[in-house]
Amino acid sequence: MQSFLELFPLLAFLAAYFVDGLYTATAVLMGAMLLLLVVDYVRTKRIPPMHALSAVLVLVFGTATLLLQDERFIKWKPTAFFWLASLAFLGSFWIGKRTLVERLLGAALGEQQSHVPQALWRRLNGLWVAFYAALGAANLAVAFTASNDTWVYFKVFGLTAVTFAFIIAQFVWLSRRVRVAT
């Protein structure tokens, strides 16, 4: 259910885009993000930081898009999100006892997390820095050189699929490394 909740704003954006264009889709995305925050809070009594960041960016860039009637703003939103995430991963090299990737993937590994060398966590964290920086750049390239339809498909399906594939590949690779180390 959590996966559907996280994809709901994106799917609502896609449906609204094909019904009535990018401006309507932007307004629907803004409403869907606010609804996601409410559902998060009702279900868990907290709002995940990534949802909060994404919602703030959607509201800021979405408002600029609608008020100025300029679609470029909403097209910048994924890039801003990815680059901020990249900076967060980068900053985690120096802030806190564990890197951000160790905090995210380590929880999924459970007790086996302690068998992963710190150098490996740092290398994986660096990959996430580069990955999110590259996704931001790719979004800009598609957003400002392709049609709106192409960008919407890329945003909804391409960026989502690449992100899931990256996370799964990292988790599988890390799980194999942990088994070898234990």
Q: Which pLDDT score, from 0 to 100, does residue 28 have?
A: 98
Q: What is the dihedral of CA 67, 68, 70, 71, to 10 degrees?
A: -20
Confidence at residue 114, expressed as pLDDT on a 0 to 100 scale: 64
Q: Are 65 and 71 in contact (CB under 8 A)?
A: yes
pLDDT at 104: 83
**Whole-model pTM?**
0.87
Residue numbers of the chain with a pLDDT score lower than 70: 1-3, 108-114, 178-182
**What integer pLDDT is reported at residue 22 of this predicted model?**
97
Domain residue ranges in the chain: 1-70, 75-182
